[in-house]
Amino acid sequence: MQNQDQLIFNQILEDNKDTIYRICRIYAVSPIEPQDLFQEVIIHIWKSYSTFKGKSNISTWIYKISLNVCSRSKMKFDRSNDKLVQFKSIQFLLTENIPENNNQEKYRALHDCISILNESDKAIIILYLDELPYKEIATITGLTENHIAVKMKRIRKLLFNCITPKIN
């Protein structure tokens, strides 16, 4: 029986690994790498897998755990980073100028703009970009569908105002 549970768990991870990794990439901050955050999320999913009751879709449950773990990790990093002096004047120059295509620039601009959102808005836009319906976003975040709709309108406006100067 335990071997079958492990096979099911592995299939669940295989089905959701891209989603988990996307969330980790949004929340990852230097020196925290997305891979480290990904592993931390997987550990939390594994530890709490036995408590999953099936009241929601497994992907909804995984989104919730991923967002919570990543958010906590970022807050912990931010608290410890407050005590450090940042050297923003240090720049690393690439030895080669690699031209970027337009899609990579747009992706980076979107990623940069999402990273400056507050934690609640960041979670909502990540779920929205994964094409989840407002009802499922509401279930994951604990907000109402109407609240999600209002927040999405505000988030879209913030992102539009942030991205437009970056890609023009």
All structural domains of the chain with their residue ranges: 1-86, 93-168
Q: What is the pLDDT of residue 91?
A: 41
Residue 66: pLDDT over 70: yes
pLDDT (average), residues 60-77: 89
Q: How far is CA 42 from CA 9, 55, 115, 140, 160, in A?
A: 10, 20, 22, 18, 33
CATH class of 93-168: mainly alpha
Topology of domain 1-86, per CATH? Rna Polymerase Sigma Factor; Chain: A (1.10.1740)
pLDDT (tens digit, 9 = 90+) per residue, 99-140?
A: 456 678 888 888 889 989 998 999 999 999 989 999 999 999
Q: What is the pLDDT of residue 166?
A: 85
CA distance 7 to 4: 5
